[in-house]
Structure 1
Amino acid sequence: MQLDDQATRAIQAWHAQAENAQAWLARHCASAPQPEGARISEGVVLWRQESDWLPVALWPSGAEGQTLLGLADDVRQAARGLVSQLDDGHLGIGYPVRDPADDQQGTGALVGAVALRVALPASLHDDQRAQAALMPLMQRLEEGVAVLERDLVQRTHRDTRRRQQTLARQLELLAAVLAENRFKAASMQLVTRLATLFNAERVTLGWQRGARCRVVQISHSAQFNRKMNRIRATELAMSECLDQRASVAVPPPEEAADHARRVSHAHRRLQEMTGLPSVLTLPCLDDGKPLGAVTLEREAAFSAEEADALESLMALCTRALEEKRLNDRPLPVKAAVAVGQQCARLVGPGYLGYKLTAIVLGAAVAFATLATGTERVAADATLESLEQQVLAAPFRGYIDAALVRPGDTVAMGEVLAEMDTRELVLEQLQWQSELAKLARQEQQQRAAGERAAVNVIGAQQDQAQARLELVESRLQRASLQAPFAGRVLSGDLTQRLGGVVEQGEELFRLSPLDAYRIELEVPEGRIDALREGQKGELVLAAMTGERFAFEVERLTPQTRSVDGSNRFVVEASLESDDRELRPGMQGVGRIEVGEARLISIWTRELVDWLRLTLWRWWG
């Protein structure tokens, strides 16, 4: 229907152009000069209509013009002025008409051609005299064509200015609607500005709700009663417009013949009820889908140009109003609508990828619900030695030699370090000489018969012997030896050679090579699933390609805080003996806690979190 209106208006513009060309040709031929008796006897104007060239003007009205049409067509093809000999007493002159506003080629687009028949008297049959007589006529024709081109420029300028003004009003109205955040405020801006822009007494906006269109806003009215007869009549008029998917005007514009064929019974009843002689309703369409309608009422009749402008305005504003209305809905309504849309896509036509995705997800959920698997509890793991031996300084002294460093593997009885024994050797000699001295004194006193003195010397001998044995034991312990085959964990004495150490100070820490235990840090949410004797696997960060089997031995009450969460320490023993292991290695252990459905395994943490959250809120 809109295309028919546009075609009708194009034909009307063509007829207006033909009338202007006819009037110009008549004025030009009537006022043309007659140099030396030469006069214009006939004229024709050829004009472009889209891709065709048609005659639009003929002077005088009873002339044939067939010969001039051929000349005009030659002028169109040559795109320049021509002079042609028509017969013995007549010459033809022609000139092209260009539209300077269409300057794509630099000279203006060719839009028409003018051809005139010039009657020559017998005295001008000479070529030179005929050429001299044609010069004023040719100049006059150029001037006349210039006037015609000026009229084209003025008409194009007026049309362009009118379109710019219309576009500016449309953009201003759209900006006012977009500036509002709420549907109610945006719709009030729309109807108020439309009423001002088109001098309407009342502008009513209705929006589709279900199967009917209901009034949501009236210009210059903050509130209205939906039970009023005028409101009901307006809603019926809007429904009538939406049923036809086209604007309805009463009375219909004269220049738009298609409006007269549209049904307007509800509009005429609204016109009779309100008393306003002109009613226009336009549909609010979004991709062909009717969303609402706008009804304008005023005293003056609506033109086809105003109807087109209103349709353009509503085409710009409809999508913005619908988005604001959708955003204003409560959150539960939005969620319900979104679910309904997804369900419609799922069961309706099209959306093959969506359906395939739903089928795959459904199959995955069904499989996870029915299938079972081994449930495992993952925990950070640290490898520790089963036992550690501390080697302390046997006495206060100095480090004489350090033979091992941390990380070295030592055999049982291997010397790890040696203490400085020079003072001990001197002290040993001192007490040995003291014992020899006491032995001589004992013999002298025994020979003299001094029994009491002999007893005193015997006590002194026992004391000296004890001191000597102490020194000898220190000399034996001056070399620190490994009590078993193992690995040195700590004790780098190479930086303390010659330094003093106190008795009992830790010098080395050793661990056996084949006795390890695992410390697992289990999240507190899964500690209730663990039992002693459960099996598991360990993967170390240093050996990700190997798995080590272990068995849970002890659930300790010890806890550690890691990244803001509590974790229980669980001890486990390795079931294999691998010489490549080192105490302190870290990795991840997974403990098998039994069989469960896959969906419960995958969603256990989420379910536990939901339970805690619900308990916290609603207890």
Structure 2
Amino acid sequence: MTASAGHLDATQDSVSESTVDIQAWLSRCGQRLTNAHPAVSLDEGIVLWHRAEGWLPVALWPANADGVSLLDLAGQVREAGRGLVSPLASGGVAIGYPVRDSGERSDDALVGAVAFRVTAVRAANATPDEHDLMPLMQHLEDAVATLERDILVGQATRMRTRHARLGEHLTLLASMLEQPGFDAAAMQLTTRLAIALDAERVSLGWRRGSRTRLRQISHSARFNRKMNRIRATEAAMDEALDQRRPVWWPLSASTEREVSTPVNRAHGSLCEMTDVPHALSVPCLDEGRPRGAVTIERERPFDAEEVEALQGLMALCTRALEEKRRNDRPLPVKMLAALGEQSGRLLGAGHLGYKLSALVLVAIVAFAYLATGTEHVSADAVLKSEVQRVVAAPFQGYIEEARVRAGDEVQQGDLLAIMDTRDLRLQQLQAQSELAKLASEAQELRAEGERASLNVIDAQRQQVEAELQLIQSRLERANLRAPYDGVVVGGDLTQRLGSAVEAGEELFRVAPQGGHRIELEVNEARIGDIAPGQQGELVLSAMTDVPIDFEITRVTPQTRRREGSNRFVVEARLEESPPALRPGMEGVGKVEMGEARLIAIWTRELVDWLRLNVWRWWG
């Protein structure tokens, strides 16, 4: 229970005491002990109880008794934690017994001590005998056990009430959370609270700047903000929020003497205006910051348990209501609020890490705006030979032998592969036999003088000689040789030995040593900045430690689609050709564009994208 709630009633500082009537029990106990033991007389009794401000007497019997002589024994019983008997200077004896609470306060079970002044009936102020005191102490122990039982029963009843109230609050919270907006949630909260607390009116206000504005009243869809009652309710809410504690009207007689009682002048004015005798305002705090307040008006007074339960309920509901209020705001208002919140963090107290991050960001932006650097256009690059010679199959036939594969270095005239020539040699023998036969026939016809037939034979002989020359040419080309010094960049016949090839089919591709060129794939967004003669630098994946200078020689109209973007092919010439270069190597080339501000270099792609989309939608 909070300190503010504890001032509602001074008798409720002790939970055990608030569950039973100590004065009524002491009166009943004194009467019963007197009637049950006629040999002794119980002159007076007192109960000492543990309260917030210490151990204080809370009950006295009879009403006109003094009880001062019993305080010492009650204090001794409290310290010893057991029943005691002590003689009194004024005559008679004092008997006492401790009262324990074995329920909620198991860690500090001793909550009170009861003491009686006992004298013998046979003579005034005489000391009773031991055999008279023993039954009396046993009877007192039974009476204290009854008091302890009543305390436990009261606590159990109080706990059941608390659990039922907690269930109602959870149901209320669930019904409020399922509402889509702030107004609907506020209506659920106020209406259900009014029903649960049997209140005349429940009002919910929310802070706007330094003042609270009324947002919802139970069972009322609309209200006039200019009404005096509305203004008085808002003033009562401000009164509770300014003090950060619950404020109620009226104060009890005991709490008016307390130093820390809340200021409740606005609540008194509200009750006078509405003729409702009791009013309570509970602040809605979120991480210590005031968000709003709930004001409840009803006929019967509020107890401490209700105030404590309402504080717990509003602690759960405040964050949910604030989130719904923020979500209901228009988007521009949300943006301005977020900007204001970030500005407050940046310019206000605390948030050192946030401020340091902002300073670093400002320094980076200032450096990027003032400093300059060399702008580059990056593009994927492929290394290719300037010239490549294709070695093709000279005729239709079969592969007999393969001497090289892709990647081998060759000299001019080196043997690359050998074609199978057995069929050609048979054709050569056949053509030679045919040529000899035609020569014999021509000699006979010449002897006989058949000139017409001799002309036919001469034509056939010329045809066979031409076929023989073709066969001879194919035999000479059956051995495939390197056309010049270079590297075999394509072709591997080692897996095709004995297989058939068609005439003109590509078998090898040979590139000369040195003489490389580069193909750069430049994004179409930057192709307008590329021109022949520009310098650049190439880094190959296989030679990342050796940058190679190049010069743009040609911007081709050829395009390639790569990674969702259109790219133009740009050719470049290497300034030098290291021996380790091989056609087909890939890397990244950068073309120098000149000096520019760093912020322009870093944001160029973003700016181009924004310009394009602005033109597309609003141009």
Q: Normalising by structure 1, what TM-score?
A: 0.84
CA distance in 2, matches of 1:260, 1:446: 153
- Who is 1:215 aligned against? 214
The 3-state SS of whatever aligns with 1:525 is coil
1:30 to 8, 27, 34: 34
8 Å contact kept, 2:46–2:116:
yes
Alpha-carbon displacement from aligned partner over 1:560-615 (angstroms, at most 9, x marks no partner): 11222211111222222233233222222222222221111111111111111111
**1:207-246 C-alpha deviation (Å, 9 max, x unpaired):** 3333433332222222233344443444455445555555
- SS of 1:100 mapped into structure 2: coil
Contact 2:8 2:252 in 1 (8 A): no
Q: Within the alignment, does 1:100 sit opposite 2:99 as a pair?
A: no
Bigger mean CA offset, 325-334 vs 342-351:
342-351
SS in 2 for 1:576: coil
Deviation at 1:479, TM superposition (A): 0.8
Separation (CA, whole Å) in 2 of partners of 1:231 and 1:47: 45
The residue correspondences of 1:144-543 to structure 2 (distance < 5 A) are 144-239=143-238, 242-243=241-242, 245=244, 247-254=246-253, 256-257=255-256, 262=263, 264=265, 267-268=268-269, 270-271=270-271, 273-300=273-300, 309-429=309-429, 431-432=431-432, 462-543=462-543
Which residue is equivalent to 1:140?
139
Bigger Cα displacement from structure 2, 270-279 vs 605-614: 270-279
Query: 1:326–1:423: structure 2 CA closer, same or farther, 3 Å change rule?
Result: closer
Match for 1:491: what amino acid? G
When residues 255 and 178 of structure 1 are mapped into structure 2, their CA distance, relative to the original with a 3 A threshold, is farther
1:118 CA displacement: 5.6
CA–CA distance in structure 2, aligned partners of residues 290 and 280 of structure 1: 17
> Which letter does structure 2 place at the counterpart of 1:545?
D
Residues 235 and 427 of structure 1, relative CA distance in 2, 3 Å threshold: closer
Report deviation, 1:366. 1.3
Per-residue CA deviations over 1:239-264 (Å, capped at 9, x if unaligned) read: 45555555554544455426987352
Deviations 1:354-393 (A, max 9, x none): 2222221111111111211111111122222222211122
Tell me, what secondary structure is at the counterpart of 2:141?
Answer: helix
Q: Distance in 2 between matches of 1:422 and 1:314?
A: 104
Give the residue type in structure 2 aligned to 1:354. Y
Given residue 48 of structure 1, which amino acid in structure 2 is its aligned partner? H
1:406 and 1:491 in contact (8 A); partners too: yes
State the one-letter code of the partner of 2:592.
E
Worse-superposed segment, 318-327 or 162-171: 162-171
Task: Supply the distance in 1 between the matched residues of 2:45 and 2:261 (Cα, whole angstroms).
Answer: 40
User: SS of the residue aligned with 1:592?
Assistant: strand
Q: 2: distance between equivalents of 1:522 and 1:94? A: 102
Do residues 19 (structure 1) and 19 (structure 2) align?
Answer: no
Greater Cα offset, 446-455 or 395-404: 446-455
1:112-127 correspondence to structure 2 within 5 Å: 112-115=112-115
Q: 1:527 to 1:187 in 2, by over 3 A?
A: same
Moved more, 254-263 or 180-189: 254-263
| 1:539-561: CA deviation from partner (whole Å, max 9, x where unpaired) | 22333333222222211111111
Q: Secondary structure at the match of 1:504?
A: coil
AA aligned to 2:510 is: L
Report if aligned partners of 2:247, 2:281 keep a CA contact under 8 Å in 1: yes
Match of 2:563 in 1: 563
Cα 1:77–1:248 shift into 2, 3 Å: closer
Q: Distance in 2 between matches of 1:483 and 1:33?
A: 139
Structure 2 stretches lacking a partner, 5+ long? none
How many angstroms apart in 2 are the aligned matches of 1:445 and 1:13? 152
Asked whether the 8 Å contact 1:5–1:256 carries over to 2, the reply is no
Cα pair 2:232 2:266 within 8 Å, conserved: no
TM-score under structure 2 length normalisation: 0.84
Distance 1:40 1:422, change over 3 A: same
CA RMSD of aligned residues (A): 3.9
Note closer, same or farther for the CA distance 1:412–1:353 as it changes in structure 2 (3 Å cut).
Answer: same
Could you report, residue by residue, the CA deviation over 1:79-105 in whole angstroms, capped at 9, with x for unpaired residues?
A: 444567889x97765543221214747
Q: Which amino acid aligns with 2:331?
A: L
Asked if structure 2 preserves the Cα contact closer than 8 Å seen for 1:539 and 1:546, the reply is: yes
Give the direction of change, closer, same or farther, for the CA distance of 1:361–1:226 in structure 2 (3 Å limit): same
Distance change in 2, residues 1:41/1:418 (3 Å): same
Distance in 2 of aligned mates of 1:248 and 1:51 = 22
Which SS does the other structure have where 2:112 is aligned?
A: strand
Between 1:151-160 and 1:49-58, the stretch displaced more is 49-58
Q: Provide the C-alpha distance between the structure 2 equivalents of 1:250 and 1:324, rounded to a whole number of angstroms.
A: 31
Q: CA deviation at 1:531?
A: 0.8
* Deviation per residue, 1:440-489 (Å, 9 max, x gap): 77778888888888777766665554444333322221211111122223
- Residues 28 and 144, structure 1, Cα contact 8 Å, conserved in 2: no
1:126 aligns to what?
none
What residue ranges of structure 1 are gaps of 5+ in the alignment?
124-128
| Structure 1 residue 54: Cα displacement | 5.0
Query: Any conservation in 1 of the 2:250–2:268 contact (CA below 8 Å)?
Result: no
Distance in 1 of aligned mates of 2:437 and 2:559 = 66
| Deviation larger for 37-46 or 548-557 | 37-46
1:159-200 Cα distance to aligned partner (Å, 9 max, x none): 323333433333333333222221111111122123223333
State the 1:525 CA deviation. Answer: 0.8
Using the alignment, how far apart are the partners of 1:465 and 1:492 within structure 2?
A: 36
Q: In structure 1, the residue corresponding to 2:525 is in which secondary structure?
A: helix
Q: Which segment drifts farther, 421-430 or 534-543?
A: 421-430
Quickly say closer, same or farther: Cα 1:425–1:131, change in 2 above 3 A. same
**Correspondence for 2:615:** 615
C-alpha separation between the residues in 1 aligned to 2:497 and 2:190? Answer: 98
Q: Distance in 1 between matches of 2:226 and 2:44?
A: 71
**In 1, Cα distance between equivalents of 2:467 and 2:5:** 130
Distance 1:267 1:207, change over 3 A: farther
Of residues 205-214 and 507-516 in structure 1, the stretch that sits farther from structure 2 once superposed is 205-214
